[in-house]
Structures are given as structure tokens and as C-alpha cells.
Amino acid sequence: MLVEKVLGNLADYPAEGKNIEKVWIEWYELDKKLLRKISETGEEVGIRLDSHLHEGDVLYADENRVLAVDILPCELTTVEVHSM
């Protein structure tokens, strides 16, 4: 499957009664123009966009399912600064 535009976001997309299938993306891949990923059901997905992706972006939808972006969690390092 080749995705060339985002259809909306799960926050406001009418997905009631449809199976929501996820495509997991790392945080650093959100700005990439070309991606090749595998959905959670094993389907190969090519993504070619002019804009960057966000959590919950709908990449594909039909009468039975919705394919949406899910950003994988990552580790975070914090540094405590006591003075400038």
C-alpha cells in the first residue's frame, strides 16, 4: 500500500465500528518524506508525504478498518541545572 496523503486524525475522524490498525513510527521518523513500515497486521506500507506525521494521523480508511500512526515510546534523559 502506498500512502500519499493524511486523511485526518483519530481525534476527529469518524472511526466508530471500524478496526483501528496501527503503523508504529519512531519519533525521529515523523519528519521524513519517505518511509517504509509494516503495520501491526504485517501489511507493508509505503508513506510518501510533503508534511510531517503526528500521533493518530489516519493514513488509510475503508468500510472495515482505519490505518493510523502510533508513535513508539522512547527513553528520555533529563538534566537538572542549578545555575546559568
CATH of the domain at 27: 2.60.260.20
In a domain, 22, yes or no: yes
Q: What is the total count of domains within the chain?
A: 1
Rounded to an integer, the average pLDDT of 35-43 is 95
Q: Indicate the pTM of the whole model.
A: 0.84
Domain span holding position 6: 2-71
Residue predicted with more confidence, 37 or 15: 37
In a domain, 78, yes or no: no
Q: How confident is the model at residue 15 (pLDDT cuts 50, 70, 90)?
A: confident
What is the pLDDT, as a whole number, of residue 54? Answer: 96
In a domain, 83, yes or no: no
Give the CA count within 13 Å in the CB-facing half-sphere of 71: 14
Residue predicted with more confidence, 84 or 65: 65
In a domain, 76, yes or no: no
Instruction: Please say whether the beta carbons of 41 and 67 come within 8 A.
Output: no
In a domain, 80, yes or no: no
What is the pLDDT, as a whole number, of residue 84? Answer: 84
Q: In angstroms, rounded to a whole number, what is the distance separating the alpha carbons of residues 80 and 56?
A: 32
In a domain, 21, yes or no: yes
